[in-house]
Amino acid sequence: MRLKIYLDFIKIEHTLFALPIAYAGAVLAGELTLKLTLLILTTFTGLRTFAMACNRIIDREIDAKNPRTAKRHLPAGLISLREAYAIAIAGLVIYFVSAYLINMTAFILSPIPAVVSYVYPYLKRFTCLSHYFLGLSVAFALLGGWIAVKDSILFPENVLLFAIALFFWEAGFDMIYALQDAEFDQKEGLHSIGGHFGVKFAKKFSILNHLIFFLFLVLAFKNEPIVRLSLPIVAFLLILEHYIIREKHDEERIQISFFYLNALMSASVFLLIFAQFLLGF
């Protein structure tokens, strides 16, 4: 029972967004052994656990004021602050140990994503660029997967273009997720795009970010014959994602747009990258 509460606290299901992207980075580098699969899993899960725990700890007072988030674990007293810190520390230890076991480059660079994860919750108090810091985390997942295989930061062009695409993808759908709290953010002086510039602007700006995402995805995959098959799927899911919230952005619609469609998009791209890898293209 307690484990279930802890897993819900860190939203373990949200690993579906970016874990396939980390594996995609490894496959694009030419290798995905069982050992590497497990180490990428523990590295990614450890960092995500740390990031989510820090987010909940840092935002606990804001969450308590917001009717939508007041029932989260810390404001509602479902777990203690000491437990939350213990979860964050455990995640960070798992992350660093796993990065060390992967290779030295991964270990040396491992503090960078950890710092970005820690800083992210504070940014919305000062700037709308917080959405883009979240975009960095997904780009790091791809680059981290590539580093796990190559033990190097000499990334090829397609990987760099893919990472830039992911940067705008994550930022764009985080703007959609933040629509739920646009009125609250405006009232409290928090700097989401929706809270700062309004819901209509945020929806349009999210579309712009996803158009940039798709453009860089096309450039990244232009020489990848099998992976190019993902482009129509991605285009369809992006259109559907924005169509769902075109008029209303209630929690149910955003859950479909933000969670299910983006998880499906991530998995689709990875599966075609993996298929190309298996076929030896």
The DSSP secondary structure of 102-122, one letter per residue, reads H-HHHHHHTHHHHHHHHHHHH
Alpha carbon distance 148, 151 (integer Å) = 6
Give the per-residue pLDDT at 269.
93
Alpha carbon distance 276, 269 (integer Å) = 11
Alpha carbon distance 157, 21 (integer Å) = 17
Domains, the chain, in order of start with CATH, read 2-279 (1.10.357.140)
Q: What is the dihedral of CA 121, 124, 128, 133, to 10 degrees?
A: -10
Contact 177, 194 (CB under 8 A): no
Alpha carbon distance 32, 17 (integer Å) = 19
Residue 168, helix vs strand vs coil: helix
Percentage above 70 pLDDT, the chain: 99
What is the residue-level pLDDT of the chain in tens, covering all 281 positions?
677 887 788 887 777 778 999 999 999 999 889 999 999 999 999 999 999 999 999 999 999 999 998 889 899 889 999 999 999 999 999 999 999 999 999 999 999 999 999 999 999 999 988 999 989 999 999 999 999 999 999 999 999 999 999 999 999 999 999 999 889 988 888 889 998 899 999 999 999 999 999 999 999 999 888 999 999 999 999 999 999 988 877 778 888 777 788 888 999 999 999 999 888 77
Give the per-residue pLDDT at 120.
93
Give the per-residue pLDDT at 279.
86
